[in-house]
Amino acid sequence: MKKLFIPKGYKQNCDLITNQKAIKFVKDNFEKVFAEKLNLTRVSAPLLVFSDTGLNDDLSGVERAVRFDVKELGRDAEIVQSLAKWKRTALKKYGFSRGYGLYTDMNAIRRDDDVDNVHSIYVDQWDWERVISREDRTIDYLKKVVLDIVKAISEVNEMTKKEFPFLTLTVNENVKFITAEQARKECPGLEGKQLEYALTKKYGTVFLMQIGKKLSNGKPHDSRAPDYDDWDLNGDILFYNEVLDAPFEISSMGIRVDEKSLLEQLKQANAENKLNFTYHKQIVSGELPLTIGGGIGQSRLCMYILQKAHIGEVQSSLWPEEVEIEALKHGINIL
């Protein structure tokens, strides 16, 4: 996607004040419905973590965290990129039992992200994590949680349409579950976003599974850090976005690594040095609970339900000056 894509005939569907009211409506109601469906309790989360703990999310392993020294503490700290690892330690600290968990407002800076209609260097999402048992580490359990999340999105979408009648989106709750390898066979010759486009255009709502593991062509569908999701038990929730005529990722999620999958994936990624971090040692020793979790983009969800063409219409971030100028020419107000 280019830095700025203007859909043909696109116009903003409401004024700025109504837009802000709609954003708040979506966020307030989704937070409530989502938490109820997944048995989650809201907790406070850090903006900063120490660099030497291994708690910050490496994402695909190449993104640079915003890092600085803390004068009073004599240690380096980093702004979180996500809370995938922190949440698991928090579950232990709070003492959550099987089937219950936490969610939090996560705010992050991803300085290396390319900005376009759906990407921003400012990331806001609901990060969530729930305790599971070893028996829960199955595809069927993963699918059930995905269906709960999609149902929550659909319910909030219908609530929002009643409150703001100019909205017309219908969320397809019939999720197509498909592994990345199966998708390659179904759509031969397509990879990456082209593959996701073909799938979402056909099925509407897709959970594309097993992200990070090498496929039969020797490459993964997409990069994924080796030390949070189990690559056999994870995936992305994708919708077809009619406004952009594009695949639209709402959530990356999965059952987290246990001691076996952690060691295997670190070896595959040539990242066994991470075993020196406290977090990774706690997984290997079984000190941390087994969990499932993920992130749901707050601005992404607002953008989807409110039928916006640019993420800057629902969040305030930093954009290239030429993007702001060009957007305004087409009647798009970047916040």
Catalytic residues: 57, 110, 125, 236, 249, 252
Residue (of 285, 298, 256, 287) closest to 84 by Cα position:
256
Residue 162 Cα distances to 25, 27, 217, 264, angstroms:
11, 15, 47, 49
Tell me, letter by letter, the H, E, C secondary structure of the chain: CCCCCCCCCCCCCCCHHHHHHHHHHHHHHHHHHHHHHHCEEECCCCCEEEHHHCCCCCCCCCCCCCEEEECCCCEEEEECCCCCCHHHHHHHHHCCCCCCEEEEEEEEECCCCCCCCCCCCEEEEEEEEEECCHHHCCHHHHHHHHHHHHHHHHHHHHHHHHHCCCCCCCCCCCCEEEEHHHHHHHCCCCCHHHHHHHHHHHHCEEEEECCCCCCCCCCCCCCCCCCCEEEEEEEEEEEEECCCCEEEEEEEEEEECCHHHHHHHHHHCCCHHHHHCHHHHHHHHCCCCCEEEEEEEHHHHHHHHCCCCCHHHCCCCCCCHHHHHHHHHCCCCCC
Cα–Cα–Cα angle for 35, 246, 23, rounded to 5 degrees? 40
